[in-house]
Structure 1
């Protein structure tokens, strides 16, 4: 009996070990996971590129949002065709213009949808996942009849500042480094360009099916808004998310309808209304962990009614449409970065030609130095074995094995 018990215990230990191993390979140490992140990033980047070409003067913001989500769905449909692999939109396409900060993804039923015009500062924001591995991105550009026309004035200052701050953040995300220097760098760039980081913007660690993990970098630290310090580690994935404003950077809600939500997985409540139960059931089935737009639900009218009770009982998190003061301009850049053995790799985001921003403002020497850093890890040179052993071994002790990359 004792032998049987020991054997059973051994089997249990092996099963537990297998489970731990299975959980462990969901990060970047598994090449298949890296492949899925990069596949998601390819879809995100191609969608972003397509939207920049599609978003011309005279286009409705609603049509651009619909087109973005369709592009994501179509591209994902041709990849990883196993029925067990979920894929698609990880954050619905949002198009926020000028003083609108974020999360603007209107519904088909709305009649007063904004139409783009020449000179608009347009922010595109979207996310893609393959098997729960998420790639998010955001890009800012200015509507111009002639794309070679330089961007000037406040638009040039705020766009260049947001882009350079985001690029500096990428350089500062390395294993062993802390989150604090990123917040400091964003402030330095903002000061150099005479703009302001927007309050409440957080950069999260991402994991499988988790778009907003616990490790957080804050874009603007204040007495009432701080985050816990932490250090970046190998095999982690992060969002770099920088939003700059020509105003005070204190966004507010206006009268725009909130259409983007996320299921609060830890909350439970027995809903009373039939419409609420129907909507919540659909959300549980289609979007159990990631953000979604009401537009993606089967019955928009019923969804608008049903989310009210869900919000009242904290079953959903809302992503409200936020605005700066009228006349201010906001720029937004967002990247996904992987901490791989070879170094930090930015996998989302479109190329930006900073020369198109006609501004006399420049980042300080400290930021320029950060931007000049390589994101790749340096390989250590292997020393001559005998010389290394002789130098490393104290008298009377055997030489220790050298560490190599």
Structure 2
């Protein structure tokens, strides 16, 4: 910025030279003007241009992350050192060097997962604060999904919702989201599991939490959260999945909950599990059971997993129950000639809008599909689409869930979905 100098009354004096530094502090700066004829210094103020205001998140969250993180660098999750035989990885100069020089695809993968994680943290912060008894399940899921779509800046299969928002209640542990016309309302005594995902270029972030509105089931929630954190802590490169399940079970089943004067053991839901995550594939092929078992499969460097645990005051097993809402095209689905024209048309719509990402009936409605149930059931019968009905323990029991996504980097374990809340 040019600063005008005062004229000299002495014709023999030279024009003064200027030395003005911009410290970019947003305030008026003092410019030192040196008169080359006398050597005297004079001070003048120059006006500073106002700094641009940083974008902030709205309430409810609807500001896309590109405005909040214009450099496209997203926060790392919680870093945990590896244990036992892999402690050396954390301090290995060779592994650090290799990770630093890792190919561009790997670094891009990290950023994609972290971007999805930051969307999840911001959306769930609002959800945890605003979900209250008396809200309809439709309102709850649409608020979460609208926030997800806005923050991740939904763009076809490039970025968007990772899978339908699960809002399973009470004895229902998983895979319930309302279909159109569902009038279910959240009640004061309900135990609500909120399970939603975000994806960026097919890299899916999967995380879940449980909400209650009285203190009856605090110990149930504590047990499940503790079990998830145990699974996260004990997971790592070369860890055997069967042993990991044992650590989770031991933690979970050390808890009891008192309900109506009766003490109930917290049971691990034995036929639910965590899982590895693959590109555009929420279940990547490896399962993290919640009970000790004989699975000798190892976790491997570069993989990432959803560590999710479910506890119950019931029998500790779930069965299919209720109207189905969740579906996904099978990754290696057979190419079968379809006789129904409506099924052919619906499959094209599924390929275009979801690929192999899970979807629900509300998402088909949103995509403009109508009268599709016959065609959808035909795709399920032909083994092209998998249906995922609600999974419920015995009536009258209560179930809870917590879940984190972890990334097994060469040098360190990154809990990408970790936040201040859980």
Give me the TM-score of the superposition, normalised by structure 2: 0.69
5+ long unaligned stretches in structure 1: 1-23, 145-150, 354-405
Which stretch of the first structure deviates more once superposed, 271-280 or 40-49? 271-280
For residue 3 of structure 2, what is the aligned residue in structure 1? none
Q: Say whether the 8 Å CA contact 1:122–1:143 is kept in structure 2.
A: no
- C-alpha distance after superposition, 1:197-255 (max 9, x if no partner): 1132122222222221122221235xxxx67422222222111010111111121233x
Greater C-alpha Rg = 2
- C-alpha distance after superposition, 1:47-88 (max 9, x if no partner): 22222223211101122112222111111117xx8x8x7111
For residue 37 of structure 1, what is the aligned residue in structure 2? 113
Give me the TM-score of the superposition, normalised by structure 1: 0.71
For residue 148 of structure 1, what is the aligned residue in structure 2? none
- C-alpha distance after superposition, 1:287-329 (max 9, x if no partner): 1111111211234542323211111111111111121222211
For residue 263 of structure 1, what is the aligned residue in structure 2? 329
The partner residue of 2:274 within 203, 211, 216 is 203
Cα separation, 1, equivalents of 2:308 and 2:272: 7
For residue 183 of structure 1, what is the aligned residue in structure 2? 245
Cα separation, 1, equivalents of 2:276 and 2:370: 35
For residue 386 of structure 2, what is the aligned residue in structure 1? 317
Q: Cα distance, 1:350 vs. partner? A: 4.6
Cα separation, 1, equivalents of 2:245 and 2:200: 30
Q: CA 1:126 to 1:281, structure 2 compared with 1: closer, same or farther past 3 Å?
A: same
1:227-306 to 2 correspondences below 5 Å: 228-254=295-321, 256-266=322-332, 267-297=334-364, 298-299=367-368, 301-306=370-375
For residue 102 of structure 1, what is the aligned residue in structure 2? 174
Q: Cα distance, 1:349 vs. partner? A: 4.6
Cα separation, 2, equivalents of 1:337 and 1:109: 36
Q: Say whether the 8 Å CA contact 1:275–1:302 is kept in structure 2.
A: no
- Residue 137 of structure 1 pairs with residue 203 of structure 2: no
Q: Cα distance, 1:93 vs. partner? A: 0.7
Cα separation, 1, equivalents of 2:415 and 2:273: 18
1:219-230 to 2 correspondences below 5 Å: 219-220=290-291, 228-230=295-297
For residue 58 of structure 1, what is the aligned residue in structure 2? 134
Which stretch of the first structure deviates more once superposed, 286-295 or 193-202? 193-202
The alignment partner of 1:77 has SS state of coil
Q: Say whether the 8 Å CA contact 2:242–2:294 is kept in structure 1.
A: no
Q: Cα distance, 1:343 vs. partner? A: 1.6
Cα separation, 1, equivalents of 2:371 and 2:353: 16
- C-alpha distance after superposition, 1:341-393 (max 9, x if no partner): 4421111155458xxxxxxxxxxxxxxxxxxxxxxxxxxxxxxxxxxxxxxxx
Q: Say whether the 8 Å CA contact 1:54–1:64 is kept in structure 2.
A: no
5+ long unaligned stretches in structure 2: 1-101, 256-264
The partner residue of 1:335 within 365, 379, 404 is 404
Q: May I ask how many residue pairs the two structures share in their alignment?
A: 309
For residue 185 of structure 2, what is the aligned residue in structure 1? 115
Cα RMSD (Å): 2.2
Q: Cα distance, 1:32 vs. partner? A: 1.7
Cα separation, 1, equivalents of 2:130 and 2:383: 37
